[in-house]
Amino acid sequence: MANNQDNITIAKRKEARGAVLGLLEEGYPNGVSYQTMERILHSSAKCQPHELPGVIKYLEDKQYIEVSLPEEPSLKPLQNGIVELSAHGVDLLEGSIPDDPGISI
């Protein structure tokens, strides 16, 4: 059974996922650079920089977003990536598909 601190952490993750989708919705159909997303979410206190890779991975695994990485190899390819909202992500935000319990929109 989750304690109160665990519940707060889970709620923050769900809010961060929703914030990422909301940010991408504003620019749709264009993507947003990972670095820009990181700055915006950190400055609005929606997501800490160290949390963002996990948020991105979750949303990508659920097929709500697509991540384009640079062709040139680097130590941190995600830092130079572009994140885009997928059609599935648009459907979630518009309510065309059932709500995802792992995301607070």
What CATH number does domain 4-94 carry, 3.30.1700.10, 3.50.50.60, 3.90.78.10, 1.10.10.10? 1.10.10.10
Per-residue pLDDT at 1 exceeds 60: no
Would you call 29 exposed, middle or buried from its count of C-beta atoms within 10 A (0-12, 13-18, 19+)? exposed
Global pTM reads 0.89
Computed over every residue of the chain, the mean pLDDT equals 91
Q: What is the DSSP letter of 98?
A: P
| Cβ count within 10 A of residue 103 | 23
Task: Give tens-digit pLDDT for 5-55.
Answer: 888 899 999 999 999 999 999 999 999 999 999 999 988 888 888 999 999
Which sequence spans correspond to the domains of the chain?
A: 4-94
Q: What is the mean pLDDT of residues 52-68?
A: 96
Tell me the pLDDT band of 2, cut-offs 50, 70 and 90: low
In Å, the largest CA–CA distance within the chain is 45
Cα-to-chain-centroid distance, residue 34? 10
Quick check: 47 and 69 in contact, CB under 8 A? no
